[in-house]
Structure 1
């Protein structure tokens, strides 16, 4: 039987500054003992495991629904809008996705041809249309993406308020590291 291909997240040394940067040219380990470094490495490895799992779940949902990533984002936006009683227009979809109106038209044509959406006259603006997701697509999205989101929500809800505050702060600080790498070398 063939061995599965190891994933990057399976090798903790890929996250260990003692291996990656032994001279501490980039990552300072001052004030941390080996046990603390091991724990930091495990945090980074766990984030990678989560990211890989999230990518696999997203890919499985897209395959199940036979859609690309942008199409799935559009459907999610439309479903959320409809669930909140909003009239979802092609312009709103374009703005949400950050794509041109021409690209949005092609996207909506694809989704309509595949039987996922329909365009209807806007209830108050004769010059516009609203986009609705068909019931079968809504059910499929709920069964795939919705159930995964519910499990994630339950895990976050099981944390204490203080634990959630720590996680929120950590993840926001982590997201803020998305700086222009050229700024670090220019400083």
Structure 2
């Protein structure tokens, strides 16, 4: 590898690591005011934001790997998790309940279930009390596979949360709820009448070489 390419990769890693630093992403403080913070406070906030981003990227990579292994998309995996939770609670899963949970149409739910049934992930069975309806159950093989991947990961997260003190759990809960509120508020806002004009970035040999974490698909959870 040439020195120029070494420098380009070093710059790419440095920029990738600074994507949560307002001094880099908003140097003129047009959106984020940070001149009232000490260097120590600002560094601490940036470390926390970076840790959140690392966790999100790691979670997306795990989810993507699990879905790829089982030949599923994100909606498929959400459906399987819902079916497992319902079966564990003794609640029959109908296509209508699954449609409501996934926020998709009845027709889309039917296609999803047809696809999962053909792949051997679910089975349709007569409803125990309603002769006009059918229920959906996950197959034992797929149940074991989901538990081995996503279930095990959830168990590890549970242990991390359990290690916190009750006070810290409350603090983290409020923090995450406040973050969720900002996301929901942003989603509810209409687009600006005059959107910001983006300036084209200069082309470089490394412009398409994004870090691996950035190329993972967005795993939006419901």
**Same-fold call, TM cutoff 0.5:** yes
Q: 1:120 aligns with which of 122, 125, 129?
A: 125
Q: Distance in 1 between matches of 2:13 and 2:57?
A: 9
- When residues 34 and 185 of structure 1 are mapped into structure 2, their CA distance, relative to the original with a 3 A threshold, is farther
Alignment pair present for 1:95 and 2:100: yes
Query: Could you tell me whether the CA contact under 8 Å between 1:12 and 1:42 is conserved in 2?
Result: no
Q: Distance in 2 between matches of 1:114 and 1:171?
A: 37
- What stretches of structure 1 move > 6 A for 4+ residues in a row? 5-10, 183-186
Q: 2:87 aligns with which of 71, 77, 82?
A: 82
Q: Distance in 1 between matches of 2:14 and 2:170?
A: 26
SS where residue 130 of structure 1 aligns?
strand
Select the structure with the greater relative contact order (CA < 8 A; seq sep ≥ 6).
2
Query: When the two structures are superposed, what TM-score results if normalisation uses the length of structure 2?
Result: 0.76
Q: 1:14 aligns with which of 6, 9, 19?
A: 19
- When residues 167 and 34 of structure 1 are mapped into structure 2, their CA distance, relative to the original with a 3 A threshold, is same
Aligned-pair CA distance for 1:12: 3.5
Q: Distance in 1 between matches of 2:85 and 2:63?
A: 17
Q: 2:61 aligns with which of 56, 59, 76?
A: 56
SS where residue 94 of structure 1 aligns?
helix
Alignment pair present for 1:71 and 2:76: yes
The unaligned stretches of length 5 or more in structure 1 are none
Q: 2:170 aligns with which of 143, 148, 165?
A: 165
Aligned-pair CA distance for 1:119: 0.5
Query: Could you tell me whether the CA contact under 8 Å between 1:9 and 1:45 is conserved in 2?
Result: no
Aligned-pair CA distance for 1:19: 2.4
Query: Could you tell me whether the CA contact under 8 Å between 1:62 and 1:68 is conserved in 2?
Result: yes
Query: When the two structures are superposed, what TM-score results if normalisation uses the length of structure 1?
Result: 0.90
- When residues 40 and 185 of structure 1 are mapped into structure 2, their CA distance, relative to the original with a 3 A threshold, is farther
